[in-house]
Amino acid sequence: MIMFEAILLTIITASTPLVIAAMGELVAERSGVLNLGVEGMMIIGAVCAFIATNMTGSPYIGVLAGIATGALFSMLFGFLTLTLVANQVATGLALTILGLGVSGMVGESVVGVPGVKMQPIVIPLLSDLPLIGRVLFAQDIFFYMSIALVAGVNWYLFKSRSGLKLRAIGDSHGSAHTLGLPVIRTRYLAVMFGGACAGLAGAQLSLVYTPQWVENMSAGRGWIALALVVFAAWRPWRVLAGGYLFGAVTIGQLHAQALGIGLPSQFLSALPYAATIVVLIIISHNRRTTLINTPACLGKPFVPDR
């Protein structure tokens, strides 16, 4: 029972940044913007959160720094793609490369510096329940924020008028513009939200998952978050389920290595990314479901004058 509880706790810790980053990207893609720079925004959020925490001694200041840095970094993407109408795919890739480079340069002075770990929020009495106590009621703030994000985004997209407008812009920006909806402003806000979530996910990596700064510590999680949005068919609650599935695969390969299973460690380490490829291949065969759920204007530029 203790071992099972420990495995659940590690799966939650590994899955939380995937869920948070994927939720931000889901909102951006629902508005019609494809931002492949999630990895870059995550890593820049991680280093800024770590530095801010070590300077102030407060991990909550670090969380705010990660969110703000991710949002500001996303504004560069928004300016290039929404204002200058640059190619979204190329710009997103450039943003990832830029984020990896800048984070390595900024974080060079804090490599090996002991970090300040975000302490869990323990709910009295409930945290003492067998099995589910520590799993659900003694978690860090990132876990609770990820659940709130999923519920909030689901309500916003499918229950609110603003969410309906955002989905309308993602499905047909020309028609939305004709009806007087602010296409560019809505997409800017969606991109900023996605950047803030990516920065928050990065902060979780350097404050909870591994409370220190290590160059390239995002380790491809931004790309998994992108695949997770497609895997979930742009549905928030499916993102939550998919995030925990990918988190379980990540933790599973670590336990497999610890148990000494006779497979090369490199193969086991590649399992989360191999699982991502397999899932995308499976999804690509169901073209009907993909076409129904994919925002029709995803990745397409919009110029009001045309």
d(CA 210, CA 11): 14
- 176 domain residue, yes or no: yes
- 131 domain residue, yes or no: no
Give residue 186's domain range: 2-118+140-293
| pLDDT tens per residue across span 144-173 | 999 999 999 999 999 999 999 999 999 999
The mean pLDDT of 252-273, rounded to a whole number, is: 71
**Could you give the number of structural domains in the chain?**
1
| pLDDT tens per residue across span 99-124 | 999 999 999 888 888 888 888 888 88
pLDDT higher than threshold 60 for residue 306 = no
- DSSP class per residue in 45-65: HHHHHHHHHHHHS-HHHHHHH
Amino acid, single-letter form, for residue 29: E
Place of tokens 């770990």: 117
Q: Band of the pLDDT at 208, cuts 50, 70, 90? A: very high
Percent of the chain with pLDDT over 90: 62
- 128 domain residue, yes or no: no
Asked whether 96 and 226 are in contact (CB, 8 A), the reply is no
End-to-end CA distance of the chain: 63
Which of 266-296 are b and which e, b meaning 16 or more Cβ less than 10 Å from the residue's Cβ?
A: eebeebbbebbeebeeebeeeeeeeeeebbe
Q: Band of the pLDDT at 25, cuts 50, 70, 90? A: very high
Q: How far is CA 155 from CA 136, 143, 236, in A?
A: 22, 19, 9
We report the CATH number of the domain holding residue 197 as 1.10.3470
pTM of the model: 0.92
Asked whether 18 and 51 are in contact (CB, 8 A), the reply is no
- 174 domain residue, yes or no: yes
- 300 domain residue, yes or no: no
Quick one: pLDDT at residue 288?
Answer: 67
Go through the chain and tell me how many residues it has: 306
- 238 domain residue, yes or no: yes
Quick one: pLDDT at residue 152?
Answer: 97
| pLDDT tens per residue across span 37-66 | 999 999 999 999 999 999 999 999 999 999
Q: What is the mean pLDDT of the chain?
A: 89
Pull the structure tokens for residue 272. 């989360």
The mean pLDDT of 227-243, rounded to a whole number, is: 90
Q: Which residues contact 102 (CB under 8 A, 6 or more apart)?
A: 44
d(CA 225, CA 205): 14
Q: How far is CA 56 from CA 117, 123, 204, in A?
A: 13, 26, 17
Quick one: pLDDT at residue 4?
Answer: 79
